[in-house]
Structure formats: structure tokens, C-alpha cells
Chains A and B, each alone.
Chain A
């Protein structure tokens, strides 16, 4: 232990302080891409490959060209960075392909059918051309609204119990577990559940819109519970304590302090849950059934919904298969648009209700 550590003497290269390094121009990735895909196109043309083979070859060439160029100019670290960056961008592009393709497909095939008549007429008495999705729109609206009215209070209150009252209790742990299980329930099982339930009550072969709403709320409740639970957990305990310290009872603290603070997130979660169940097909097929006419009464008679309309239009076949398929694409476009609008609304609401800092 007697040996002392001598501090390292001044190194010879200490005098210079290199901070600059040769760099590729900012356009380098694009240039490399042009070169790689140009080469690939040439090869593809010469060998008579399809465009898929050409694209794959171009991509592989890009993975080689850019890092090698970078290695020669910029050094090893930058070359690795270029390589991984290319991989990440490729993965992003790959992930975007199905999304863009889907939207393109739906818009290109569905836009042609869209018209005032398509949105305001039902399919009553129509076989070939004409007709519309009015009955399905109304059905989706009524069924989803009923499901929301049932699920939101149950879901929000269950979440309030879990976060505010049940912390660490056995019952709360069981509920959390069951909610997780419910999130994974296949939607067709929810439909069967509603069907069995109402068959027990009203006798066999019962079909009505409210049954569909019950099936959808079975799917919706766990989503609402989860979203609300996460939002309530985000409300800092300091706010609850501040309220308690003012002599405010617990229930008033929850209603007037905790819920308003979390409102933006809760509304966003609920809206996303609506968007999620609005596109459900299987349970509605079982319990809400299909029909060609508009039905405003969820408690009486079959009720058409958009997803079921799409399904039955595509599967009908027969003499008017082409017209039916065109209408199915139109309905698909409307459904995608509704879900997209709901998502946008959720974002706007989240922003509007977020606690204001005033800065």
C-alpha cells in the first residue's frame, strides 16, 4: 500500500484538440439510395426481374453502399450509425406499407359509391343498384351509444374503486386480474354470452340492437376500466392530501378534485374505446342480426350495423354480387372515416380538458 500512483505526465498529443472530422454531405443517404436503386433497376431490367426482386436488391445494395462510403470517409463509428439508421428507417417504411395500402384500397374502391343517396337510403327492397347504408349507420350509432351509456359509468366507477378504495385489497387484485382476462375475451364469445343471456330471458332466436349493445359493453368495460385506472393513478397524491387537509371528505375529493384533474385522459380513453368497439362484427352478427330496413328501436327487431353490413354484402353473392361488393367498400370507407374522426376527437378532447398551466 506504500506505492503511490504517479499522475500521468502530459501526453504528447495533448497540445492538439481535434474536434472536426470529415463528414458526408447531408444528401449522402439520398445519393446512396439513388445509386443503390438505380443499380438494382438496371440489374432487374437486364435479368427481367419483377419489381419486388428489384426493390429487395436495391435495399440490400443501399445497406452496403451507404455504410461502406461512410466507413471510407467518416470512420467506423459513423459507418455503424449509418447502417443501423438505414435499418430503422426501413422498418418504419415496412410498417407504413400495410397502413397506406389499406387506406388507399378503401378510398379508391369506396369513394366511387359515396353519394347523398348512399348515406341517406336504406337497403329496403333493393336488390341491384341504388340503396345505401342509412340503416347500418343508424344501427351502429344506436348500438354504440347504448354500449357507451352502459359501460362508461360501470367502467369509471370500477376504476375509482380500484384506485381510490381497493388499493392493496384482495378484492381489488381479483378485479384487476379479471379485467385483464376480460380484455382478452374474443369478441365472438361476448356475442355468444349476450345471445345466451337474452335467449334465457326472452326465448330462442332473439335478435335486437340492445343485445348487441350488451355484447359490446362486455368488450368495452375492461378498456374503460384500464384507461381510467391509469389516468387516476397519474393524479398526484399531493392533490388528494391537499383536499383532505382542507377538511374535504373522501368522496368529494374524488368527485371534485381527482376526476376533474383526470378528465381529459378519461374522455380520451372512452373515445378510443368507442372507436374500438364501433368496428366489432362478430357479436353483432349473432345478437343484432341483419336487416335491410332502418330500425330506430334497439329493444325490438333486428338492427343492421356497419361492420355486419360489410360482412353480409360481401358474402351474399349471386346475381348482384358486384353491386353488393361496391356498397361494402363504401361502408368500409365510412367506418374507417368514423374511427379516424373518433381518434381525432379523442386527441382534441384530451387537449381541451388537460389541466391548464396558463403559461
Chain B
């Protein structure tokens, strides 16, 4: 499991509007890569283009190459559904399926795809995924309660459990902690550390300390100017990024002197 991702000359459009321009980077396997930058600079857009979720928005399209394990995601004949099975995603706001129980939410990826499995197999997937998401002890006695009955932090961990239940190669996280309190955030950061050994993780965050805590590599995105497309300013190991960044503007942003 776990693959690296090579992005080259990626341009992302919403209709005619060029949102992000000329992104080049290599995301290493079995590591955590963080995207930071001001709001509206295209971090989430780049993240969504890594598992072809970008094109779900009408009129949205992508030019350039995203290569995972030697295969181009945007090549001819690539099935976006197959891509998303290999590259899972966790969203900013927890979004468990409201019609399903906790148990069914974890199995959603399997059940919605009508995969047949034995009860024991299903039980073991649920237990493994919930343990992987650090949620098992809190919910093991009420697996049949609705997923929406959990608190926000628990719902987010449920969504992570749901994402890892289908055993993807890569896990994309779009500001997974922005709606959570510090304790739930710490739980999820611990979880990211544990998941790193099995998954390639890409996380978008507004929290610089979080990027510094959890990530191995960091990409800093910014707008060239208001109304201009966003671009990748700098991509470096996190330790270098937060001590001696290559770019002036990175240092300004990280140290809070951002104008």
C-alpha cells in the first residue's frame, strides 16, 4: 500500500477562470504532506484534483499531469470512480450519512458498492477501521445508533474510519480539524501520525502549528496578486520550511507578517 504522487505543470480551471497555475511537486509515499496558504489560494482545489473530485463541480477541469504509481490520473480511459477508490478523502466538515448507523457509515464504501461480505468479515472491517480512527472505545457499545448522534469530533473520526475502511493507497484531508476543538484535533493529529505508516497522507490546513507538528513536507500556496491564479510558492521538507524557507514570502506568511 501507499504510493507517491507526481504532479507536473498542473493548471486547474473553474469554467474559464484559471484558479491554480503551474503546480509541480512530488508527494512522497508513507509520509504526511501539508498544504498551507491564505484562504482562496487554491490549496483545496489542488487537493481535490488529486483524486478527480475537482471535476464533480460543473464546468471544472484540469490541465497537466498527476501521476500516481506510474499511471496518469487524467489519462484517457482512466475511470474517476476507480481513482477515488484508491485515493480516499476526508472533508472539512464531518459528513456522515444521516440515514445510516455508525456501523453502516463505516461500511458505506463497501455497502454502497454492493460488495458482498460475510457478517464476520464486515464486523472485523468495522472494528479495524474504528480502532484505526481511535473511535472504537467510544462507540463500540452503540454501533447501531445513527452516525449523526456523535459529537463533531467523533463524526470527523467516523469519516476517517469510513475513508480507511476501503483501504485506499492515499488519504487526502481537507482541513479535517478546522471545525473541531483542541482535544479532538489532538486525537486526529495522533491518528495522522499512526496512519502515516500505512498511507500517503496529504492534508490542507490553516493551522501552521498543525502543519509543523504532523507533516514531513510542506507546500506553501499563495496568490500572485488579487484576481490572479494561485500558485505553489515553495515546496520543501517541513523542518526547512519552518526554519529557513527559500522564499521571502513564505517566511512572511509563516511568521505572521503577511501583507
> A residues engaging B (CB < 8 A)?
167-168, 236, 238-249, 252-253, 256-257, 260-261, 263, 355-359
B146 contacts A357, C-beta separation under 8 Å: yes
Interface presence of B250 (CB below 8 A): no
Q: Which of B56, B97, B166 interacts with A247 by CB under 8 Å?
A: B166
Do the beta carbons of A252 and B112 come within 8 Å of each other? yes
- Given A246-B162, A355-B99: A253 touches B146 (CB 8 Å cut-off): no
* Bound: A264/B83 CA distance, A: 33
Q: Which residues of A contact B98 (CB under 8 A)?
A: 239, 261, 355-357
Known: A242-B159, A243-B108, A252-B113. A358 touches B149 (CB 8 A): yes
**Are A246 and B109 interface neighbours, CB within 8 A?**
yes
Of chain A, the residue at the smallest CB distance from B90 is: A245
Q: How far is the CA of A245 from the CA of B112 in the complex (A)?
A: 12
CB closest residue in chain A, given B149 = A358
Q: Which of B111-155 contact A (CB under 8 A)?
A: 111-114, 145-146, 148-149
Among the interface residues A168, A252, A253, A356, which one has the most CB atoms of the partner chain B within 10 A?
A: A356
Given A167-B58, A238-B91, A252-B112, do A245 and B84 touch, yes or no (CB 8 Å)? yes
Q: How far is the CB of B88 from chain A (nearest CB, A)?
A: 6
Q: In the complex, which residue of chain B has the Cβ closest to the Cβ of A359?
A: B149
A251 → chain B, closest Cβ, in Å? 10
| Complex contact B166–A246 (CB within 8 A) | yes
Can you give 13 A-B contacts (C-beta < 8 A)?
Answer: A167-B58, A236-B95, A239-B95, A241-B53, A243-B108, A244-B53, A245-B91, A247-B88, A252-B112, A253-B112, A261-B97, A356-B98, A356-B146
Which of B186-210 touch A at CB < 8 Å?
none
- Closest B residue to A355 using CB positions: B98
Cβ 8 A contact of A245, one of B146, B148, B163: B163
Note all chain A residues with C-beta closer than 8 A to B97. Answer: 239, 242-243, 257, 261
Cross-chain contact of B163 among A244, A246, A260, A359 (Cβ < 8 A): A246
A246 CA to B82 CA, complexed, in Å: 10
Contact B99 A246 (CB under 8 A): no
Would you call B114 and A252 a contact (CB within 8 A)?
yes
Chain B residues within 8 Å of A167, by CB: 58
B168 to chain A, nearest CB (A): 8
Does the CB pair A358–B112 fall under 8 Å? no
Work out how many contacts link A and B, with CB atoms closer than 8 A. Answer: 94
Known contacts being A238-B95, A239-B95, A247-B84, is A356 close to B112, with CB within 8 Å? Answer: no
- B91-A241 in contact (CB<8A): yes
Give chain A residues whose Cβ lies under 8 Å from the Cβ of B59.
168
Residue numbers in B under 8 Å from A242 (CB-CB): 91, 95-97, 159, 162
A249 CB to closest chain B CB, in angstroms? 5
Contact of A355 with B108 in the complex, beta carbons under 8 Å: no
Q: Compute how far the CA of A256 lies from the CA of B146 in the bound complex, rounded to whole angstroms.
A: 16
Residue of B nearest to A237 (CB): B56
Q: Chain A's nearest CB lies how many Å from the CB of B16?
A: 14
Q: How far is the CB of A73 from chain B (nearest CB, A)?
A: 50
Contacts of B111 in A (CB 8 A): 256
Please tell me if the beta carbons of A256 and B56 are within 8 angstroms of each other in the complex: no
**3 cross-chain pairs, A with B, having the tightest CB-CB distances, nearest first:** A358-B149, A247-B85, A355-B98
Instruction: Report yes or no: B89 in contact with A355, Cβ–Cβ below 8 A.
Output: no
Question: Per a CB cutoff under 8 Å, which of B56, B82, B93, B148 touches A244?
Answer: B56
Cβ contacts under 8 Å, B58 to chain A: 167-168
B81 at the interface (CB under 8 A from A): yes
Q: How far is the CB of B35 from chain A (nearest CB, A)?
A: 17
Bound Cα distance from A240 to B114, whole angstroms:
17
A239 to B94, CA, bound (A): 10
Cβ distance A138 to chain B, nearest Cβ, rounded Å: 37
Cα of A168 to Cα of B59 in the assembled complex, Å: 10
Q: Does B51 contact A (CB under 8 A)?
A: yes
Distance, CA A253 to CA B80, complexed state (A): 14
Q: Are B53 and A249 in contact (CB under 8 A)?
A: no
User: Are A245 and B88 in contact (CB-based, < 8 A)?
Assistant: yes
What residues of B have a CB within 8 angstroms of the CB of A249 in the complex?
A: 81, 113
Q: What A residues does B86 contact at CB under 8 A?
A: 247
